[in-house]
Structure 1
Amino acid sequence: MKLSRSLTLWATLMLSPVVFASSPTPNDMLKQKIQDTLGLEVSSITAAPIDGLFQVITNRGVLYVTPDGSKLVHGNIYDLNDAMNNLTELALAGPRLEMLKGFEDKMLVYKAKDEKHVVTVFTDITCGYCRKLHREMADYNKLGITVRYLAFPRQGVPSPNADEMEAVWCAKDPRKAMDDAKAGKAITAAKCDADIAGQYNLGGSFGINGTPAIILEDGSLIPGYQPANELFEVLERRGKH
């Protein structure tokens, strides 16, 4: 009997899956340190364009960190051998497009009748250049540029500014409310699932700190106002690459 029980126990152990506790990888430890020290959410860690650094994409943009996590660099890396191509901006292009997909149902869209290009603009209703861009919406649409708005209240969230933008997004006619708000008219308070905070945080993760901020079709960012004809030329040029 003892032999039989021993054989049964041995067979059970041999057939059972063996689970080993996995040790944290260097990337895991680096991610944890950045989250604990800076309070940032880390979405990816990859090799940086400069040897000896890691490129870390966070909810507040791109950082460069030494492998041991002791030193951090914040800024843009440019390629002198490629017409000063901004490699930091390039690193964010793909992730931006992916993250935008989750907010498409929150966008206020001014669609061009003969659509050739689509841009996403992070906007604020009190910003002077945002209002200028909005007054010229017909010019963008006439050139075939569809404009999709996301909210970026410059006072942050929560704030009276954010509440006003929620009122626009939650109005019975959001586009008319946007027209009125950009013209300086008062907007009736309204609440809904507009997720203004989510839109604002999304902009922050894109590296946006002012409005208007324009995301192009390739995921690149143009900070500030662009006249319709100049924006069209940029889009056409990018589309040919």
Structure 2
Amino acid sequence: MYKTFFFSAVLATFTLALFVPSAHVAAQANVPETLAKPATDPSVLDVEALKAKINRSLGLTVVKVEKTPVPGIAMLVTNQGLYYASYNGDYFIQGKIYSLGNEVKDLAEESLAKIRLEGIEKFKDDMIVYKADNEKYVVTVFTDITCGYCRKMHAQMADYNARGITFRYLAYPRAGIKDRTGNLSQGFKDLRSVWCSDDTAKALTKAKSGSGIAYRICEAPIEAQFNFGRQIGVNGTPAIILSNGMMIPGYQPPAQLEELLKNT
């Protein structure tokens, strides 16, 4: 009787061991198909879903989304610059992507060049312009009053103009729109005062020479220009945008800038 009981117990244990995995597999097989698959297909670009996920995860506002030649990777133009992400938003990339075909190409720079030119067109009536009499080239420059190299460049305006280079200025307060206390930064207020002046070109020259700025308030698009600069990769001043959309960061002496423009 003892042997019979022992054999029955072993058989029951063995049977249970077989049954549990089978039941587990059966349970898995009964999982609804919608739950078994990823929430989004990584091979399909859903622009609105990607924008929402980036905003939800990182707090970035995505202004524009474009496919890139890299499968499954999209370019994101945001309120804080340019980035890349996988189509489903699971991966976020900060940096550059290069094409290594017949020649090395910066994919971001090619796309940004178009975006820069489109954006500049929107501000064409809100720039401070120093026009060359014998105009050969036109550059658009993000500037700030407190920037040393911006002042140095502006002090040489006669030389730039004599070489046929027209300057068009956009505002870029380096300290941002607001300070740490949440109030408008001094840089923003100074640029706004210049843009609100009756003679903006004269006011900017005076401000950059250190002669002071008459405080003025109006609906000048300082914040819009600053935000546009951040979107297209500006992170300092001066930042020079050429007629083809290419951006040259930093100060360029008159002769050097003229030579660069000749070969662009």
- TM-score, scaled relative to structure 2: 0.76
Give the Å deviation of 1:61. 2.5
- Rounded to whole Å, the distance in 1 between the matches of 2:156 and 2:97 is 34
Three-state SS of the structure 2 residue aligned to 1:209 is coil
Paired position in structure 2 for 1:8: none
Give the Å deviation of 1:95. 1.2
Three-state SS of the structure 2 residue aligned to 1:141 is helix
Paired position in structure 2 for 1:145: 165
- Rounded to whole Å, the distance in 2 between the matches of 1:72 and 1:151 is 30
Indicate yes or no: 2:227 matched with 1:201.
yes
Three-state SS of the structure 2 residue aligned to 1:62 is strand
Q: In structure 2, which of residues 96, 99, 104 is the aligned counterpart of residue 79 of structure 1?
A: 99
- Rounded to whole Å, the distance in 2 between the matches of 1:225 and 1:82 is 32
- 1:7-57 CA-partner distances (Å, limit 9, x unpaired): xxxxxxxxxxxxxxxxxx722211211223333332332222333311222
Q: In structure 2, which of residues 112, 119, 127 is the aligned counterpart of residue 99 of structure 1?
A: 119
Give the Å deviation of 1:62. 1.9
Q: In structure 1, which of residues 90, 94, 101 is the aligned counterpart of residue 110 of structure 2?
A: 90
Give the Å deviation of 1:182. 0.7
Q: In structure 1, which of residues 62, 84, 87 is the aligned counterpart of residue 82 of structure 2?
A: 62
- 1:167-197 CA-partner distances (Å, limit 9, x unpaired): 1111222111111111112111011121211
Structure 1: gaps spanning 5 or more residues: 1-24
Do the aligned partners of 1:59 and 1:206 also contact (CA within 8 Å) in 2?
no
Give the Å deviation of 1:100. 1.1
Matched to 1:75, the amino acid is G
- Rounded to whole Å, the distance in 1 between the matches of 2:58 and 2:229 is 18
- TM-score, scaled relative to structure 1: 0.83
Paired position in structure 2 for 1:27: 47
Matched to 1:54, the amino acid is A
Give the Å deviation of 1:232. 1.6
- Rounded to whole Å, the distance in 2 between the matches of 1:89 and 1:66 is 19
Length, aligned pairs only: 215
- Rounded to whole Å, the distance in 2 between the matches of 1:82 and 1:156 is 41
Q: In structure 2, which of residues 206, 213, 232 is the aligned counterpart of residue 180 of structure 1?
A: 206
- Rounded to whole Å, the distance in 2 between the matches of 1:136 and 1:81 is 41
Superposed CA RMSD = 1.8
Paired position in structure 1 for 2:24: none
Percent identity over the alignment? Answer: 48
Give the Å deviation of 1:229. 1.6
Indicate yes or no: 2:212 matched with 1:214.
no
- Rounded to whole Å, the distance in 2 between the matches of 1:118 and 1:84 is 27
- Rounded to whole Å, the distance in 1 between the matches of 2:106 and 2:261 is 17
Paired position in structure 1 for 2:22: none
Paired position in structure 2 for 1:167: 193
Query: Could you say if the C-alpha distance between residues 95 and 112 of structure 1 is closer, same or farther in structure 2, counting changes exceeding 3 Å?
Result: same
Give the Å deviation of 1:81. 4.1
Three-state SS of the structure 1 residue aligned to 2:84 is strand
Query: Could you say if the C-alpha distance between residues 29 and 185 of structure 1 is closer, same or farther in structure 2, counting changes exceeding 3 Å?
Result: same
Paired position in structure 2 for 1:9: none
- Rounded to whole Å, the distance in 1 between the matches of 2:81 and 2:108 is 9
- Rounded to whole Å, the distance in 1 between the matches of 2:86 and 2:171 is 35
Please tell me whether Structure 1 or Structure 2 has the larger radius of gyration of its CA atoms: 2
- 1:83-117 CA-partner distances (Å, limit 9, x unpaired): 54322111111111111111111100000001111
Three-state SS of the structure 2 residue aligned to 1:96 is helix
- Rounded to whole Å, the distance in 1 between the matches of 2:111 and 2:85 is 15
Three-state SS of the structure 2 residue aligned to 1:154 is coil
